[in-house]
Structure 1
Amino acid sequence: MDYENHRIYGMSVASVYVHYVTKAERKGRTRDEVDEVTRWLTGYSQQQLEQALADKTPFQDFFDNAPRLNPSRSLIKGVICGVRLEEIDHPLMRDIRYLDKLVDELAKGRPMAKILRS
């Protein structure tokens, strides 16, 4: 896949976030839990996350400006959208898919301690 021209980079996090929340809530999880996994991954505070969503920050900027990408994110393994995370070479696409995977695990009912690799 040509990751350099992938259209998701310019999409706002907010435009996808609403789907993350819907997916989680359909499975009995909460928006707060979606926020928690997002903050764990990126190092954003709740206020910074809410501002990025309000500003419709593109994924590229969201991850480029993340206060502290969690070094334990490399422990996130598996397949998301038909692609094995360990095989994604492009750093931004890998981080986007890490977030997808965290929300997926949340929606599947996995305990928060396991999702956050505690």
Structure 2
Amino acid sequence: DRIRALKNAEALDAMVDEMVKLHRGQGMDIYWRDTTTVPSEDEYRTMASHKTGGLFRLCIRLMAAFSDKKLKLVPLAEHLGLLFQIRDDYINLTQHKYMKGKGFCVDLKEG
């Protein structure tokens, strides 16, 4: 409702597009967990792009919707999302303190 209240079609489109992608990415992750499927590298990248990259893209697209300058920052958001997802999955697998607080491989188990 807050995005709609801004009366900016570009912002509303960004919100809807990125939320759909985020849920698709999360769905991929959950499907792999529930079917014990190991994704290919390309599938993992797609999931990370949708699930985590979507939040970074959303921030950039919302800022762009209210800016006169249209910088091409979406590729940066894609890379940040992939980096963040890989980092989160790696830490979950390797760091005892993280495992203790969150549980071992929780991200992989939960999607």
TM-score by length of 2: 0.30
Structure (1 or 2) with the larger CA radius of gyration: 2
Higher relative contact order (CA 8 A, sep 6+): 1
